[in-house]
Chains A and B, each alone.
Chain A
């Protein structure tokens, strides 16, 4: 199965700071990219899709770098409620979707 790699963290970040995660993927034929968020012991939920041109949703910005095969997630002005595990998801072809193991983020007051 194709690989999706993430730094597991935890990332400990003070409230109000900016934090960024990267995720690398091995399948150069991948066509779809997403970030999911998982709160403690709950099901993962779609945070945002990642488009070739990059996209922004409020304080969240996602970027795709096809040449280097990574996607990134930037969170500005972090809130306590942003504390969660962020999962990188890559799709394309017969393998369907491949999930990374997640990056654990802790926002500290």
Chain B
């Protein structure tokens, strides 16, 4: 059973471009969480999704950011018109319900 897979591991985007981060949860996991971590800071909750539903997006900026977790395929975190302040590590975690979650290795986004 493969772990949580995130890709790409590293992503470089120019200001104004779009960034798409993918997260494939562990097999049988229907809950996905996205977190952002700025350098020298702690994890910051962004969004909690279950299959085809956004349960809690209170941590996600209202503009430019969106997330989905379709019935088939990975969860996608999409950032439109990226700015330098979006540079961070983005971690995804999955769980079968509100039991222990397992994290992917993260995507390091750099905006130049």
Question: A residues engaging B (CB < 8 A)?
Answer: 1, 8, 31-32, 34, 38, 41-46, 49, 85, 87, 89, 91-99, 101-102
* Chain A minimum-CB-distance residue to B98: A91
Report the bound CA distance from A87 to B58 in whole Å. 20
Q: How many residues of B contact A (CB 8 A)?
A: 24
Q: Bound state CA distance, A99 and B103, in angstroms?
A: 12
Contact partner, B43, options A8, A92, A101, Cβ 8 Å: A101
Chain B residue with Cβ nearest A38: B43
**CB <8 Å contact, A32 and B98:** yes
Give bound CA distance, A42 to B33, whole Å.
Answer: 16
Which partner residue on chain A sits nearest B48 by CB separation? A96
Q: How far is the CA of A45 from the CA of B35 in the complex (A)?
A: 14
If A1-B56, A43-B91 touch, does A102 touch B42 (CB 8 Å cutoff)? yes
Do residues A49 and B33 form an inter-chain contact, with CB atoms below 8 A? no
Known contacts being A43-B106, A95-B48, A95-B56, is A102 close to B43, with CB within 8 Å?
yes
Distance between A105 CB and nearest chain B CB, rounded to angstroms? 13
- List residues of chain B with CB under 8 Å of any chain A CB: 31, 33, 35, 42-43, 45, 48, 55-56, 58-59, 89, 91, 93, 95, 98-106
- A38 contact set on B, CB distance < 8 A: 43
Known A-B contacts A31-B98, A45-B103, A99-B35; the reply to A85 vs B42 at CB < 8 A is: yes
Q: A1-B56, A97-B33, A102-B43 are in contact. Are A44 and B48 (CB under 8 A)?
A: no
Instruction: Indicate if the CB atoms of B100 and A94 lie closer than 8 Å.
Output: no
Q: In the complex, which residues of chain A have a beta carbon less than 8 angstroms from the beta carbon of B48? A: 95-97
Docked-complex contact A96 and B42, CB < 8 angstroms = no
